[in-house]
Copies of this chain bind each other. A is one copy, B any other.
Amino acid sequence: MTTARRFCPKCGAQVTFRIPEGDNRERATCDSCQHIDYDNPRIITGTLPRYDGKILLCKRNIEPRLGYWTLPAGFMENQESTKEGAIRETLEECGSKVLCQQLYSMISIPQINQVHMIYLADLENADFHPTPESSEVQLFSLEDIPWEQLSFASVRQTLQHFVEDSKQGHYPLHEDTLYLNNLMTLP
């Protein structure tokens, strides 16, 4: 991280990493214009879309984890809410309009400075299709989830909660923190 941010994004001068006054950790600080270039965790927002007792998964058409199945999700953008972002990402990844219900799975992944938020959602109809981001889009019954072909540990964790909760028909918020050995299975 320290090697990645070497110049001030406001004035272009070289930054130094030091603890600013009143702070307690090192930041990329600019001695030229006094700008402090904070680096904070990012939010991944998306949905678990349901339709007719099945769930929708997307086969990734982009790296990382190209060819593996995932839930429609992506980086939350500025000027939107977490739920708006989840709906937008679902539309972008599989062409589906969803009715977004409650937040269902929130997973912190400290190693990569991300927080993943997955909303339970319902497809308005069976309208979905491949997109530039997804080579295939498909409904799966819970018995047919491709566990060995899932993209990321956070997707697996969320689907495990969902399968378990489906037995009771009760879907509370799940909060998890993932610490992984295999960085290949992250975003």
Q: Name A's B-contacting residues (CB within 8 A).
A: 1, 4-12, 14-15, 22, 24-25, 28, 37-43, 62, 75-84, 92, 102-103, 106, 108, 110-111, 113, 115, 132, 173, 175, 177
Contacts and interface: CB of A to CB of B under 8 A. Distances in A.
Given A41-B43, A173-B102, A173-B173, A79 B7 contact: no
B14 A12 contact: yes
Contact of A173 (B40, B103, B113): B103
A22 B82 contact: no
Nearest to A80: B110
7 contacts: A5-B9, A6-B9, A9-B37, A38-B75, A80-B110, A82-B108, A102-B175
Q: Which residue among A15, A62, A80, A110 has the maximum number of chain B CB atoms within 10 Å of its CB?
A: A110
Contact of A40 (B10, B76, B103): B76
Given A1-B78, A38-B42, 16 more contacts: A6-B9, A7-B11, A7-B12, A8-B9, A12-B12, A40-B42, A41-B76, A41-B77, A76-B115, A79-B110, A79-B111, A81-B108, A82-B106, A102-B175, A103-B106, A103-B173
A39 B37 CA distance: 11
Number of copies of this protein chain within its complex:
2
Contacts of A111: 79
A83 B39 contact: no
Given A9-B5, A83-B175, A177-B81, A40 B75 contact: yes
Nearest to A11: B7
Contact of A28 (B9, B11, B28, B80): B9
Contact of A79 (B6, B10, B75, B113): B113
A95 to B, nearest CB: 14
A146 to B, nearest CB: 25
